[in-house]
């Protein structure tokens, strides 16, 4: 009787689990890398973020210290008396205040966007998954919040906080909470639209068939598939929050002195803009560069994460 033939196939090869996701990562990176402007924006943001985090160690100057020796009542020009970018109208080093302002502006933007994502994703996910009367009332609540005039309400509320408290840290927290509580609506609508489609897909039906609960299906199966548009929306919202915080500070109702923010630096530069234009130019450029870089980064992420792109 002939012996059974067993081919020598060698030992099985174990593929690391993380390699299963490597092609998709490569595809996203290749798409993003083709978007040259978005790539430049990401590099610029990385440099600004690093400078905001470590700039005080590189340039250890107190942003609120007044140069009593060289200040004559007018802003010092860039390069004078060791001030690289000059001083403001009160004799404070402009570069040190730009670094401190970047920390404030970026912290407000990132914290606010995180609040937007948490609130918007939770409400939008629940509305899109359950539908029916739950979807109806959540969306009507979203419409009410969306109809609130944002800037006038922020002006009134921050003015009340500024009048009742002299703590700069309190106004900082209040701005984050107010902006985050009033600007989550776009994220909620985006997540709801994604969930309305995803809840009818085969993997959702399979999860229900094996007995998975609603919360597990929402956060384990649906939310990861809706994360791409959430990331894009969050990226674009960062620029909007920076502009909104700068507008509030420019009007005198945002970050209160002596804390530096790009908005209140612009506001304080108005009185000397004809004789010292650099006091307004540098914070204005910071706002412009960061906002453009974030918007270009969002465009690049949208193209890279879109599954319909080839």
13 in a structural domain: no
**CB contact at 8 A, 96 and 62:** yes
For CA atoms 51, 273, 264, 38, give the dihedral sign. negative
12 in a structural domain: no
The model's pTM: 0.79
**Relative orientation angle of helices 94-130 and 168-182, to the nearest 10 degrees:** 30
Expressed as residue numbers, the domain containing 234 is 29-64+81-305
Ordered per-residue pLDDT tens for the chain, 310 residues: 444 444 444 444 433 333 333 346 677 788 888 888 989 999 999 998 888 888 878 888 888 888 888 888 888 889 888 889 988 888 899 999 999 888 888 888 889 999 999 999 999 999 998 988 999 999 999 999 988 888 888 888 877 776 666 655 567 788 888 889 888 999 999 999 988 888 888 888 888 888 888 888 888 888 888 888 888 888 888 888 888 888 888 887 778 777 888 888 888 888 888 888 989 899 999 999 998 998 888 888 877 876 555 5
Domain count for the chain: 1
The residue with tokens 């960061």 is 290
Largest CA distance in the chain: 109
17 in a structural domain: no
Helix (H, G, I), strand (E, B) or coil at 92: strand
Quote the CA–CA distance of 156 and 153 in Å, as a whole number. 5
For CA atoms 171, 172, 175, 180, give the dihedral sign. negative
Say which CATH number the domain at 225 has: 1.10.3720.10
């Amino acid at each position: 009787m002939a012996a059974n033939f067993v081919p020598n196939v060698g030992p099985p090869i174990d593929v690391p689990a993380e390699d299963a996701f490597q092609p998709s990562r490569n595809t996203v990176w290749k798409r993003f890398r083709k978007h040259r402007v978005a790539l430049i924006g990401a590099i610029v943001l990385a440099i600004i973020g690093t400078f905001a985090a470590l700039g005080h160690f590189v340039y250890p100057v107190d942003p609120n210290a007044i140069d009593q020796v060289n200040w004559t009542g007018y802003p010092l020009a860039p390069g004078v008396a060791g001030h690289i970018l000059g001083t403001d109208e009160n004799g404070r080093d402009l570069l040190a205040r730009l670094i401190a302002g970047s920390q404030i502006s970026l912290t407000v933007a990132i914290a606010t966007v995180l609040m937007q994502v948490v609130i918007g994703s939770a409400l939008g996910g629940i509305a899109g998954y359950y539908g029916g009367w739950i979807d109806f009332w959540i969306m009507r609540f979203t419409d009410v919040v969306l109809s609130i005039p944002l800037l006038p309400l922020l002006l009134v509320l921050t003015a009340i906080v500024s009048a009742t408290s002299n703590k700069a840290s309190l106004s900082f927290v209040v701005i984050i909470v107010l902006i985050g509580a009033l600007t989550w609506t776009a994220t909620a609508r985006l997540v709801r639209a994604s969930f309305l489609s995803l809840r009818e897909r085969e993997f959702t039906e399979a999860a229900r068939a094996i007995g998975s609960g609603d919360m597990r299906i929402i956060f384990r199966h649906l939310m990861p598939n809706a994360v791409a548009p959430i990331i894009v929306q969050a990226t674009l919202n960062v620029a909007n929050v920076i502009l909104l915080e700068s507008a509030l500070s420019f009007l005198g109702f945002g970050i209160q002195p002596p804390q530096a923010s790009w908005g209140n630096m612009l506001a304080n530069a108005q009185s000397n803009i004809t004789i010292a234009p650099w006091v307004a130019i540098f914070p204005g450029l910071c706002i412009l560069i960061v906002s453009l870089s974030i918007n270009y980064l969002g465009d690049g992420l949208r193209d890279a994460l879109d599954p319909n792109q080839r």
